Chain A
Amino acid sequence: MKKMSEAVLKGKHAEAKSLAEKALAQGIDPMDAIDKGFVLGMNEVGDKFSKFEYFVPELLLSARAMKAGLDVLLPKVKARKAAAARRKVSIGTVEGDIHDIGKTIVKTMLETSGLEVIDLGVDVPTEKFIESIKKEKTDVLAMSCLLTSTMPAMEGVIQKLREEGLRDKVKIIVGGAPITEMFAKKIGADAFGDNAKEAVDVVQHLIRGS
Chain B
Amino acid sequence: MNGRERVTAALNFEKPDRVPVYPLIHFASARVIGMKIRDFAMNGKKMAKALIAAYREYGYDGVHPGVDVSIEGEAVGSKLRQPEDATAFLIDPVLKNPDDLDKLKVPDPLKDGRMPVVVEATKICSKEIGREAFISAWVMGPLNCASQIRGVEQLMLDTADRPEFVNRLLRFCVEVITEYGNALIDSGASMVNMGEALCSPNFISPNMYKKMIVPHQKELVKNLMKHDAEYTLLHICGDIHPIMEDTIATGAKLIDIDWQVDIERMIKQIDRKIAARGNLNPAGNLLLGTPEDVMKEAEKVIKDAKGWEGLILGSGCDVARDTPPDNLKALVKASMKYS
> A interface vs B, CB < 8 Å?
11, 52, 55-58, 60-61, 64, 96-98, 100-101, 104, 147-152, 177-180, 182-183, 186
Contacts and interface: CB of A to CB of B under 8 A. Distances in A.
Interface stretch (B9-17, B152-160, B243-251): B152-160
Given A55-B205, A60-B153, A183-B288, A11 B160 contact: yes
A52 B238 CA distance: 13
A149 B281 CA distance: 15
B86 A147 contact: yes
A147 B87 contact: yes
19 contacts: A11-B160, A55-B203, A56-B203, A56-B204, A57-B156, A57-B157, A57-B159, A57-B205, A96-B86, A98-B89, A98-B91, A148-B283, A148-B287, A148-B322, A149-B86, A151-B283, A178-B282, A182-B284, A182-B288
A16 to B, nearest CB: 14
B318 interface: yes
Contacts of B37: 149
B127 to A, nearest CB: 30
Contacts of A101: 152-153, 156
B204 A57 contact: yes
Contact of A183 (B202, B203, B205, B283): B283
A11 B160 CA distance: 9
Interface string B254-291: 00000000000000000000000000011110011000
Contact of A149 (B87, B90, B152, B237): B87
Given A55-B205, A182-B284, A149 B321 contact: yes
Given A98-B91, A149-B86, A60 B156 contact: yes
A56 B156 contact: yes
B297 to A, nearest CB: 13
A52 B259 CA distance: 18
B83 A96 contact: yes
B336 interface: no
Contacts of B281: 180
A182 B290 CA distance: 13
B45 to A, nearest CB: 23
Contacts of A58: 205
B84 to A, nearest CB: 10
A149 B320 contact: yes
Contacts of B202: 177
Contacts of A152: 322
Given A64-B157, A149-B322, A180-B284, 13 more contacts: A57-B156, A57-B157, A57-B205, A60-B153, A60-B157, A98-B89, A101-B152, A148-B282, A148-B321, A150-B86, A179-B283, A183-B288, A186-B288
B317 to A, nearest CB: 8
Contacts of A61: 157, 160
B201 interface: yes
A57 B322 contact: no
A96 B322 CA distance: 15
B208 interface: yes
Given A55-B205, A60-B156, A148 B86 contact: no
